[in-house]
Amino acid sequence: MKDIYQPIFEPLVLPNSIKLKNRIVMAPMTHGASNTDGSITDTELKYYARRANGVSMVITAGTWVMSNGGLSGSAAVDRDDMIPGLNTLASVIKEHGAKAVLQIFHGGRKAAPVDGNTVCVSALPEDKEADLVPYELTEAEIIQIIHAFGEATRRAIEAGFDGVEIHGANGCLLQQFFSPYTNRRTDRFVGSFEKRLTFPLQLIEEIQRVARQHAKDPFIIGYRISPEEPETPGITMADTLEFIEILVSKGLDYLHISLNDFWSVPRRGIDDSRSRLEIIQERVGHKVPVIGVGNIRTPQNAVKALQSGVPIIALGREIIMEPDWIEKIAQGVEGEIKTTLSVKDQEKLIIPDSLWKFIIDIPDWFPLERDDGSII
């Protein structure tokens, strides 16, 4: 291995004393390969096993905590009979040397309809042209969801996971509560900035309570956020900086910033030309480890990102295209790392049919090579 890449391989100890063997983790990416009832399939076990070598931690795709909060093809953690399959998944990841973290979520209005309905913080459709208007959650239902996140955490512990990541990003239910665009309620969950935090903060407290009660060993609790929204009124960078100060005061083990581009800059709310991640790192990085993600492909990209001060880098699309990313750097053959995907690569890379369809159907999501080597 070349000395220039040594920062990638430096270990890191999380606040709860769990040690990560290096600075690279696998980002949570929707794969759609679970059974229709949310149980784990052999396909996704093979998919994760292929990518757990080398990285210090695998964060799974979102796993739904209630049936009205799931996505088609996503795994479930909403009932105890899911534990055996989740245990197998955790074991597969850990056997390959990575910490296993289960991302838990409720999709809110982004979830697949149940009996023709979706739910949301407010009765606001996902698309202005959509016919399906979600119904507004009652306060009693909100309390049930908080409890469901706690029960999901218990099941993750019993299944042998090293931790959970609370999915508060990408427009899912937690973000819907925090956002002034989607949160148009008239009760204690809306109004002031602090009231919009009521749901996510109570949810964190419930998860921590369950972890203290059930986990015999240190247990990772992370939180993922999207720092800005395009809508008006929506979440601004100023909102996020205030939010993360409160989040880190809750004793989280990491803060995961969901971005398409690691170096993207603020849209509005503050006057700063630095990247969002550099700003966030400066604000709270001395209090909690920050995970950065977004279009990191090469080891040179990763080293540059680490030099920004952000201590952990998540690879999503790149770890799908190159499962041996870490090993090739360690072996000194980083020039062999693939940063494109051939249309013939699905079987070799153990990419589930559902994920492969996403890759093919979503323009510009992955750099796809034609047979002649040109990029689609």
- Residue at 356 is within a domain: no
- Residue at 110 is within a domain: yes
CA distance 245 to 222: 14
- Residue at 213 is within a domain: yes
> Mind listing the pLDDT tens digit for each residue in 147-192?
999 999 999 999 999 999 999 999 999 999 999 999 999 999 988 8
- Residue at 376 is within a domain: no
Average pLDDT over residues 287-306: 98
| Helix (H) / strand (E) containing 321 | helix 317-321
- Residue at 373 is within a domain: no
**Counted domains in the chain:** 1
What pLDDT, on a 0 to 100 scale, did the predictor assign at position 126?
83
Average pLDDT over residues 321-345: 96
What pLDDT, on a 0 to 100 scale, did the predictor assign at position 339?
96
C-beta of residue 47 within 8 angstroms of C-beta of residue 351: yes
pTM of the predicted model over 0.85 = yes
CA distance 144 to 199: 11
What pLDDT, on a 0 to 100 scale, did the predictor assign at position 189?
93
CA distance 284 to 171: 23
- Residue at 362 is within a domain: no
Contacts of 79 (CB under 8 A, 6+ apart): none
Buried b (16+ CB within 10 A) or exposed e, 195-225: ebbbbbeebbebbbebbeeebeeebbbbbbb
**Which structure tokens are listed for 327?**
């090993």
CATH for 9: 3.20.20.70
- Residue at 13 is within a domain: yes
**Which structure tokens are listed for 106?**
């409720």
Determine the structural domain holding residue 328 and report its residue range.
Answer: 3-339
> Mind listing the pLDDT tens digit for each residue in 201-221?
999 999 999 999 999 999 999
| Top-confidence residue, 376 or 245 | 245
> Mind listing the pLDDT tens digit for each residue in 41-56?
999 999 999 999 999 9
CA distance 52 to 325: 11
What pLDDT, on a 0 to 100 scale, did the predictor assign at position 56?
98
Residue-averaged pLDDT of the chain: 96
CA distance 100 to 302: 22
- Residue at 365 is within a domain: no
Average pLDDT over residues 104-132: 90
> Mind listing the pLDDT tens digit for each residue in 252-281?
999 999 999 999 999 999 999 999 999 999
